[in-house]
């Protein structure tokens, strides 16, 4: 929950932004559900499906469409990875339907500054910020959970969104689930099933569902997500993968494993330090063996920590 009147978003290069915000727009799980349910879905309570989303709001001017919408889709992509549905829409349409469609209790993230985005302008007023401010974080405003990421210049906003994704998104999702439990209730079992399916394709660790008896469903999802990330990194260690991808996954892994295993947390920190110190852009042959060793250690440690009673 951070607010800053001084931008953190001026360092780095255009190439860094280009690399981070290069994204692929895919069918979302919500989109697939609607397509599978056509035409009956439109005759029923389709709005109940949409109300379970996190709404990501951008402005309607040219700069918003060109850059802020791209940033919003990057947030949506990251949320989809975490099996949370989201929907990007303009501020103008948001104000038109928020009451009519009953979206007033849904969590939202507003992208783009107060000059370009009227929702950001409202948030800035609530936070006592000027129109040239930079704001990154989330908080409850008038009973609604609102995330925000913007800066004075378009580049500042892109860096603000990058920071929001790396430092705030997971905590925002946790709060969103508290504010709107149906986000969790409807998705949680599907998420577990999908994760198990993904893990079974690349691992033979046994029946992971037995772990569910030891952990709450929300914690069980975090544990499965952590193992999926560990396995993905193990696969990446054999490829010429960008270092940035490892750093992103390690940061995410750290969030998912926090509070579950001190040994695993220490190993993740050690891996992070190694990747940051070396500062190579891509894995080359000289470093693949070292990275592979770290990944194998994480796989073995995860199995030891979470499946030691199941083996």
Q: Quick: pLDDT tens for 241-298.
A: 777 888 888 888 888 788 888 888 888 888 888 887 766 666 667 777 888 888 888 8
Report the SS3 class of residue 204.
Answer: coil
pLDDT of residue 311: 39
Cβ-based neighbour number of residue 290 at 10 Å? 14
Contact 73, 23 (CB under 8 A): yes
Distance in angstroms (rounded) separating the CA atoms of residues 83 and 189 = 11
pTM metric for this prediction: 0.58
CA-based nearest residue to 198, from 173, 229, 219: 229
- pLDDT, tens only, 27-37: 787 888 788 88
- pLDDT, tens only, 181-225: 555 545 555 556 666 665 666 566 555 666 666 777 677 777 888
- pLDDT, tens only, 62-97: 999 999 999 999 999 999 888 788 999 999 999 999
- The continuous run of DSSP H or E covering 86 comes out as strand 86-90
- DSSP class of 260: T
Read off the pLDDT band of 306 (50, 70, 90).
Answer: confident
């Amino acid at each position: 929950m951070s607010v800053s009147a001084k931008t953190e978003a001026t360092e780095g290069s255009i190439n860094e932004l280009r690399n981070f915000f290069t994204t692929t727009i895919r069918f979302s799980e919500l989109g697939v559900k609607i397509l599978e349910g056509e035409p009956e879905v439109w005759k029923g309570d389709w709005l109940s499906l949409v109300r379970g989303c996190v709404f990501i709001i951008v402005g309607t001017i040219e700069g918003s469409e060109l850059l802020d919408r791209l940033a919003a889709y990057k947030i949506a992509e990251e949320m989809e990875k975490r099996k949370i549905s989201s929907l990007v829409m303009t501020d103008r349409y948001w104000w038109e339907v928020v009451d009519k469609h009953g979206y007033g209790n849904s969590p939202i993230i507003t992208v783009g500054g107060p000059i370009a985005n009227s929702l950001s302008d409202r948030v800035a007023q609530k936070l006592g910020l000027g129109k040239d401010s930079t704001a990154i974080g989330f908080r409850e405003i008038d009973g609604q959970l609102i995330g925000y990421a913007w800066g004075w210049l378009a580049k500042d906003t892109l860096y603000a969104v990058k920071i929001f994704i790396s430092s705030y998104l997971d905590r925002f999702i946790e709060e969103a689930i508290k504010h709107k439990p149906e986000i969790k209730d409807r998705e949680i079992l599907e998420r577990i099933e999908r994760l198990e399916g993904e893990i079974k394709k690349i691992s033979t660790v046994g029946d992971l569902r037995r772990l569910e008896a030891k952990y709450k469903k929300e914690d069980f999802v975090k544990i499965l997500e952590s193992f999926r990330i560990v396995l993905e990194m193990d696969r990446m260690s054999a490829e010429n993968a960008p270092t940035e991808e490892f750093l992103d996954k390690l940061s995410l892994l750290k969030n998912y494993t926090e509070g579950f295993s001190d040994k695993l947390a220490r190993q993740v920190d050690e891996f992070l330090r190694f990747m940051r110190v070396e500062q190579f852009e891509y894995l080359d042959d000289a470093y693949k063996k070292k990275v592979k060793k770290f990944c194998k250690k994480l796989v073995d440690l995860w199995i030891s920590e979470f499946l030691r009673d199941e083996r």
